[in-house]
Amino acid sequence: MKYKAIFFDRDGTLTYYDPRKEAWRDQMITEWSGKPFTLPYEKMMRLFLLASEGKTPWYKTLEDEREFFRRFYRHLLVEEGVQEDIKNRAQRLFDELWCNGDRALYPETIEVLTYFYRHGFKMGVISDTSPSLEYTLQQLGIAKYFTSFTASSLVGAGKPSPIIFQAALDAQGVSAAESLYVDDTPYEADGAREQGFTSFLIDRSGGNQEQWSIQNLKQLIDFVEH
């Protein structure tokens, strides 16, 4: 067998955010603040910096991450002009939104993971994310398929840096030439390919028709079987 390992991105590849959680968040903060609430990327990053309290990286353990997001929601409420019960309301946001059913699996995810697991592939996840990477996949019932969880916050580098890809390869004891990779972000899929992976971009919209683009994870099975 040419390929010994397969690595997956998490968000947008194996999982997606449940839009009902975001809708609930926006509704609650709108009610508490008395004005419409949205959370664009720029605002979110500003709040991340406030919650970091000058620390870099922001979190290295699960408990670091929990405390970070409790601070994040307190800063968010203050910035939105919420006046009452900040601590308890921030805790309510944290309890509802942090690793609590906030992600769901794409329909084909389990079928594809089962295939590669049963065919003896070494399997890992590479994600620009926090220490809760493995925990989130445990909650979804798919952590059992993987033997490495490479998170940018723990490695100290994000995709497409060669550092994070090499950390994932080292964790599995394989080379990039022996490995498949799939990601929903073009420059991250390209970054893996530049390191020697056979790398796929998953674009479920079907808008990308380039050679290494797929619309469904099941096309990975087609690739290794033909």
Give residue 1's pLDDT.
Answer: 61
147 CA to centre of own chain: 17
Tell me the backbone φ, ψ of residue 225, rounded to 5 degrees: -90, -10
Q: Which of 145, 102, 108, 153 is nearest to 127 (CA)?
A: 153
Single pTM value for the model: 0.90
Binning the chain into helix, strand and coil, the percentages to the nearest 5 are: 50, 15, 35
Q: Which of 7, 3, 223, 1 is nearest to 113 (CA)?
A: 7
Q: Where are the beta strands (DSSP E) in 54-188?
A: 103-105, 122-127, 148-151, 179-183
The neighbour count for residue 90, using CB atoms within 10 Å, is 21
Give residue 226's pLDDT.
Answer: 85
pLDDT tens over the chain, length 226 residues: 689 999 999 999 999 999 999 999 999 999 999 999 999 989 999 999 999 988 877 888 999 999 999 999 999 999 999 999 999 999 999 999 999 999 999 999 999 999 999 999 999 999 999 999 999 999 999 999 999 999 998 998 999 999 999 999 999 999 999 999 999 999 999 999 999 999 999 999 887 678 899 999 999 999 999 8
Residue 84 has what DSSP assignment?
Answer: S
Secondary structure (DSSP) of 27-75: HHHHHHHTS-----HHHHHHHHHHHHTT-SSS-SSHHHHHHHHHHHHHH
Cβ–Cβ < 8 Å for 13, 203: no
List, in order, residues 6 or more apart from 222 with CB less than 8 Å away. none
